[in-house]
Amino acid sequence: MAAQVDFQTYVAISEVKARYCRMMDTKDWAGFADLFTDDFELDTSYVGGPPPIRGREAAVAAIRSWVETAKTAHQVHSPEMKIEGDVAHVIWAMQDRVIWAPDCRPVPDMGGHTGYGHYHERYVRKDGRWRIAAQRLTRLIEDFHPPAPEA
């Protein structure tokens, strides 16, 4: 039988991830950065990104450079949580939709993508507050979309 998860902890961690999606999509970079520990580690190498990035400032700068001018919508659901004291390991099913600005397209004829996969994360609670300490993004499916017709 799986260990019981404290409901308040479950909600607190879920709220951190909800803010992650909202703050990235609304480009609230100060609020977004505050969701991570100072030593946060970001690993997007599984989806073609760079080697793991260490440190909150470097990771947020990288994410910001990837989506600053894009229209984005991130959604997460179905968290699997394993909580041991002040450390939690969570896997989130995720979907993201990204529409790149014309000058930021990775390939000229690629207007955006819709991705489906998982966030594999470690959370740490310090001074009563949960933050994301590590994140690895994996994808199962990625659909690429042509640019929208010019109006």
- Please give the pLDDT value at position 84: 94
- Please give the pLDDT value at position 105: 83
- Please give the pLDDT value at position 86: 96
Give the separation between CA 36 and CA 85, rounded to whole angstroms: 18
Tell me if 123 sits within 8 A of 133, measured CB to CB: yes
Give the chain's residues under pLDDT 70. Answer: 1-4, 150-151
At residue 108, what are phi and psi to the nearest 5 degrees? -50, -35
Q: Can you list the domains of the chain with their CATH numbers? A: 7-145 (3.10.450.50)
For residue 124, give the nearest of 5, 6, 16, 7 by alpha carbon: 16
Of the chain, the percentage scoring pLDDT greater than 70 comes to 96
Query: Which residue type does 54 have?
Result: R
Tokens of 142: 């990625």
Residue reference for tokens 């998860």: 5
Question: pTM, whole model, 2 decimals?
Answer: 0.92
Tell me if 125 sits within 8 A of 91, measured CB to CB: no
- Please give the pLDDT value at position 70: 95
**What Cα–Cα distance (Å) separates residue 107 from each residue in 51, 77, 90, 101?**
21, 30, 33, 11
Q: Report pLDDT digits (tens) over 119-151.
A: 999 999 999 999 999 999 999 999 999 987 764
